[in-house]
Structure 1
Amino acid sequence: MSLVKVESSEGITTITMARPEKRNALTQELCDGLYDAYRAFEAGDDQVAVLQADGPAFCVGADLMAPPAAMWKAVPHVSHALTKPVIAATQGWVIGGGICLVMTCDLMVSADTTKFMYPEAKVGVFGGLMPGIVSRMPHKVAMELLLLGEEISVKRAYDVGFVNKVVPLGEERAEARRMATVIAQSAPLVIRTLRDFANQTLPRGPAEIFVPERYKLETIANSADRKEGAAAFREKRPAQFKGR
Structure 2
Amino acid sequence: MGLVKVESSEGITTITMTRADKRNALNQQLCDELLDAYTAFEAGPDQVAVLQADGPAFCVGADLKDPPAAMWKAVPHVSHKLSKPVIGVTQGWVIGGAICMVMTCDLMVSADTTKFMYPEAKVGVFGGLMPGIVSRMPHKVAMELLLLGEEISVKRAYDVGFVNKVVPLGEERKEGRRMAKIIADSAPLVIRTLRDFANQTLPRGPAENFVPERYKLERIAASEDRKEGAAAFREKRAARFKGR
TM class by shorter chain equals over 0.9
Rounded Cα–Cα distance in structure 2 between residues aligned with 1:66 and 1:28:
8
| Identical-residue share of aligned pairs (%) | 88
1:155 and 2:155 correspond? yes
Task: Provide the residue aligned with 2:104 in structure 1.
Answer: 104
Task: Provide the residue aligned with 2:129 in structure 1.
Answer: 129
- Structure 2 unaligned segments of length 5 or more: list them: none
Question: What is the number of equivalent residue pairs in this alignment?
Answer: 244
1:72 and 2:72 correspond? yes
Task: Provide the residue aligned with 1:219 in structure 2.
Answer: 219
1:88-103 counterparts in 2 under 5 A?
88-103=88-103
Partner letter of residue 105 of structure 1? C
Structure-1-length-normalised TM-score: 1.00
- Structure 1 unaligned segments of length 5 or more: list them: none
Root mean square deviation, CA, Å: 0.4
Rounded Cα–Cα distance in structure 2 between residues aligned with 1:188 and 1:145:
35
Partner letter of residue 65 of structure 1? K
Rounded Cα–Cα distance in structure 1 between residues aligned with 2:239 and 2:183:
47
Rounded Cα–Cα distance in structure 2 between residues aligned with 1:120 and 1:221:
30
Rounded Cα–Cα distance in structure 1 between residues aligned with 2:24 and 2:236:
51
Partner letter of residue 203 of structure 1? P
Q: Which runs of 4+ in 1 moved over 4 A?
A: none
Q: What is the Cα deviation at residue 35 of structure 1?
A: 0.3
Deviation sequence 1:128-160 (CA, Å, 0-9, x none): 000000000000000000000000000000000
1:35 and 2:35 correspond? yes
Task: Provide the residue aligned with 1:85 in structure 2.
Answer: 85
- Match of 1:150, SS state, is coil
Q: What is the Cα deviation at residue 2 of structure 1?
A: 1.1
- Match of 2:50, SS state, is strand
Task: Provide the residue aligned with 1:206 in structure 2.
Answer: 206
- Match of 2:25, SS state, is coil
- Match of 2:37, SS state, is helix
Rounded Cα–Cα distance in structure 1 between residues aligned with 2:147 and 2:26:
22
1:30-69 counterparts in 2 under 5 A?
30-69=30-69
Deviation sequence 1:15-39 (CA, Å, 0-9, x none): 0000111100000000001000000
Rounded Cα–Cα distance in structure 1 between residues aligned with 2:224 and 2:27:
27
